[in-house]
Structure 1
Amino acid sequence: FIICWPRRMIKSVLIVNNHGKVRLSKFYEHFTVQEQQQLIREVFQQLSRRSDYACNFLETTENDKWGKDTKLIYRHYATLYFVFCVDQSESELGILDLIQVFVEALDKCFSDVCELDLIFRMDLAHYVLDEIVMGGMVLETNLNEVVEAVTAQNNLQNQENPLSGLKSAIEKVQR
């Protein structure tokens, strides 16, 4: 009796700025920290050399650590590259749509997201991603569902925060 686990379709999600600084990284396959850093450098080098008018899909080479069946699908928004590293079974156009949903969800959750939001509210950016992709599999593609889940989580956190009651008490005293 052999149990075969399905291969993950999404291997990694990266957000890297124009200077190669990582703003978000999530790996769904095991790599050491050194391997992750090397992979991120290689991805950035490949993407930064491409024209803005080039295709948004890249296939990795056989000697690459990702393996020969991996594609890089990305979009370049302002100063950030949003990159999904996926296996060959994944639809390029489907992943481009998923990147769009991710960016729009970040935009709604942060009220016009910028690079600094990803730096200072990294937890929220990861939470948004976790609502869309978990364990390398797509969970949700509906933008409204993602935003509602993130909003509900934020409201729950604010209710549980002991300092939130203190803040309202101070505001009442100051009046």
Structure 2
Amino acid sequence: MIKFVLMVNRQGQTRLSRYYQPVELSRRAALEADVVRCCLSRRKEQCSFVEYRDFKLVYRQYAALYIVVGVTDAENELSIYELVHNFVEVLDKYFSRVVSSRSIMFNLDKVHIILDEMIQNGHIVETNKTRVLAPLTALDKMADG
């Protein structure tokens, strides 16, 4: 099961966070800082899967953007690794360009919609890019019409 998804820049600033298990607001900042420090301190040639406390971290770097997913020990790391790549491909398709930290910041609501279409209650529910983008496409048509 997926516990959380974080998108952070190279400076360690969180651009997006989505939690699928309750975490107190006071503890989120410390958790995010520790998780980000753990992932950003690793070298490129090291594995993108990290044992962390009582769960695992799966992360990928795209230019200056890191996507970190916290999962339970029972979750398949490779499937999560591919999910992250699929998520980025969906974002690239929607924004018609390479996703950057700025595009995340200025379109946070749309990024959350995309993430919610792919993951619900900590489980992957959809990976088809066209189906994931269907609600946003419909919203965009309503806004244009």
**Fold-level similarity (TM above 0.5):** yes
Question: Aligned partner of 1:30: which letter?
Answer: P
Give the total of aligned pairs. 144
Select the structure of larger CA radius of gyration. Answer: 1
Q: Which runs of 4+ in 1 moved over 6 A?
A: none
Q: Structure 2: how far apart are the matches of 1:136 and 1:153?
A: 25
Which segments of 5 or more consecutive residues in structure 2 lack a partner in the other structure? Answer: none
Instruction: Letter of the 1:36 partner, please give it.
Output: R
Q: State which of 68, 72, 81 in structure 2 corresponds to 1:83.
A: 68
- 1:166 is matched with none
In the alignment, what sits opposite 1:73? Answer: 58
**From 26, 32, 46, the counterpart of 2:18:** 26
Is the counterpart of residue 11 in structure 1 residue 3 in structure 2?
Answer: yes
Correspondent of 1:153 among 134, 139, 144: 139
**Pairwise CA RMSD:** 1.2
TM-score w.r.t. the length of structure 2 is 0.94
Where does structure 1 lack aligned partners over 5 or more consecutive residues? 1-8, 62-67, 160-175
Alpha-carbon offset, residue 48 of structure 1 = 1.1
Asked if the contact 2:65/2:100 (under 8 Å) is kept, the reply is no
**TM, length-normalised to structure 1:** 0.78
Equivalent in 117, 120, 138 of residue 134 of structure 1: 120
Paired-residue identity, %: 38
Q: Residue 57 of structure 1: which of 40, 49, 57 is its match?
A: 49
Q: How does 1:73-112 map to 2 (within 5 A)?
A: 73-112=58-97
| Aligned positions of 1:116-135 closer than 5 A | 116-135=102-121
Specify the code of the residue in structure 1 equivalent to 2:52: T
